[in-house]
Amino acid sequence: MRLLHTMLRVGNLEESLKFYGDVLGMKLLRQKDYPGGEFTLAFVGYGDESDHSVIELTYNWGVDSYDIGDGYGHIALGVDDIYKTCDAIKDRGGKVVREPGPMKHGSTVIAFVEDPTGYKIELIQLGTQGSAKPESEKQAATA
């Protein structure tokens, strides 16, 4: 099994596509209207869906806002240079809601940006986070 996509309901599909494309550098992979259900699905990501997890943006026609709720956390993206990435996001009109720096009670360098609907996206400086390698790989690396 593998993670295919994360779905977010958006209030303005064009604004959201602009944010995920122009601000975060994702590509629109596919988009389709469903007139019978009065919704549009748009899939965005950094690579083809055959080997990358992507984000499904769902626009329900006529719905322009959502209560995100307190159960939603965030989407996380790994970046090579968090400071340059945040500057580029601001230059492209994106909203950085937590400037880069170490997370509380840890050493991972993070920042947060917000999309037009209000969803939080965490940026993580690659190489500063805890290892996501399986235990067997960690043991092999220290042997």
Task: Indicate if 88 and 112 belong to the same structural domain.
Answer: yes
Residue 137 lies in a domain: no
Residue ranges making up the domain that contains 94: 73-129
Mean pLDDT, contiguous 10-residue spans, the chain (143 residues) = 92 98 98 97 96 96 91 93 97 97 91 96 89 42 45
Residue 52 lies in a domain: yes
User: Which residues are the active-site residues?
Assistant: 122
Query: Could you tell me which of 20, 18, 128 has the C-alpha nearest to residue 81?
Result: 128
Query: Could you tell me which of 31, 35, 37 has the C-alpha nearest to residue 16?
Result: 31
Quick check: pTM over 0.85?
no
- Which CATH number covers residue 100? 3.10.180.10
Residue 139 lies in a domain: no
